[in-house]
């Protein structure tokens, strides 16, 4: 490991090892930089933690609050939060292993239990954190609502569509297909469901297959939402043993009839976020998902 004094990241000169020591009250004995934002830090006594440097006002507080809120459900496993402030997040390091069908089934059951823990409203932010948060590096506004189709259109789809149009990533004439989906959401959304406790950014990179055979989730954009949105995001970017995950989920909480046909509706949100962050390729996927939803 590198010497703990080898790096610094802020105007105050504090690096990840010093931040971990300050937030945990345990001396840091080594660090290993993984990326510009992530560092493994070994603390006195041998515990190794993951230290993440946050970007964006309130981003670390929102992530820490999300991890705690999801963990409070007692369902899906998440790395414990050892400390956080406006800039730094210190959590358990997850020792990773290979994905397995057995772990996938258990993950599906646990995910169903997480969703069933519920939320006060669609768009409800985790308690103890800021109302407005992020999904990836994109700002995410957690305005609340009681009617999912209206809330999803106003606060999850249309804001990112407007940003993509303003940036020229989606042409104004193309945006009408997405707008038509929003207008038809009351009929496209399926049966009404209560607000679920969502991870909110459930792509495969945020699903860690632990060496102990348990799945853990990281980097949430947690909020109250529709449970099918988490499942649609798992399918969007691929997940090992996805069918086993879904089998486990349905053992605990059967999905409403027609859920498979609504996947594209729920993928509009993450696809438009990615269009805003990463460009035209994702915009084309979002437009195709909208057109499929409109044609049934």
Residues annotated catalytic, as ranges: 201
Contact 113, 252 (CB under 8 A): yes
Count the Cβ atoms, other than its own, within 10 Å of residue 187.
8
User: How far is it, in rounded angstroms, from Cα 210 to Cα 252?
Assistant: 22
Using only C-alpha atoms, the chain has a radius of gyration, in whole angstroms, of 20
Contact 41, 22 (CB under 8 A): no
Render 105-127 in DSSP notation, one character per residue: HHHHHHHHHHHHT--SSBTPPPT
Contact 160, 273 (CB under 8 A): yes
Contact 110, 187 (CB under 8 A): no
Joined together, the tokens standing for residue 190 give 């399926």
User: How far is it, in rounded angstroms, from Cα 85 to Cα 12?
Assistant: 14
Q: What are phi and psi of 39, to 5 degrees?
A: -140, 135
Beta bridge partners of 32: 40
Q: What are phi and psi of 33, to 5 degrees?
A: -75, 130
Contact 219, 201 (CB under 8 A): yes
User: How far is it, in rounded angstroms, from Cα 200 to Cα 187?
Assistant: 23
Range list of H helices, 101-241: 101-116, 148-152, 158-166, 172-188, 227-236
């Amino acid at each position: 490991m590198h010497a703990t004094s080898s790096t610094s990241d802020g105007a105050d000169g504090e690096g990840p090892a010093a931040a971990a020591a300050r937030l945990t009250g345990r001396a840091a004995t080594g660090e290993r930089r993984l990326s510009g934002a992530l560092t493994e830090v070994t603390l006195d006594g041998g515990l190794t933690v993951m230290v993440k440097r946050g970007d964006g006002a309130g981003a670390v507080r929102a992530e820490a609050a999300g991890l705690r809120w999801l963990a409070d459900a007692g369902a899906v496993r998440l790395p414990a939060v050892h400390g956080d402030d406006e800039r730094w997040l210190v959590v358990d390091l997850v020792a990773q292993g290979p994905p397995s069908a057995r772990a996938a089934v258990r993950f599906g059951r646990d995910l169903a239990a997480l969703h069933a823990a519920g939320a006060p409203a669609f768009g409800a932010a985790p308690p103890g954190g800021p109302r407005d948060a992020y999904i990836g590096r994109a700002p995410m506004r957690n305005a609340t609502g009681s009617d999912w189709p209206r809330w999803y259109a106003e606060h999850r789809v249309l804001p990112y569509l407007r940003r993509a149009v303003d940036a020229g990533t989606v042409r104004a004439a193309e945006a009408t297909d997405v707008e038509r989906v929003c207008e038809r959401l009351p009929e496209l959304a399926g049966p009404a469901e209560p607000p679920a406790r969502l991870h909110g950014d459930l792509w495969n990179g945020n699903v860690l297959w632990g060496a102990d055979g348990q799945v853990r989730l990281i980097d949430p954009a947690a909020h109250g939402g529709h449970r099918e949105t988490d499942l649609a995001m798992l399918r969007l970017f691929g997940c090992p043993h996805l069918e086993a995950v879904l089998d486990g989920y349905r053992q605990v909480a059967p999905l409403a009839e027609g859920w498979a046909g609504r996947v594209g509706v729920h993928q509009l949100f993450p696809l438009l976020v990615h269009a805003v962050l990463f460009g035209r390729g994702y915009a084309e996927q979002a437009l195709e998902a909208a057109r499929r939803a409109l044609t049934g």
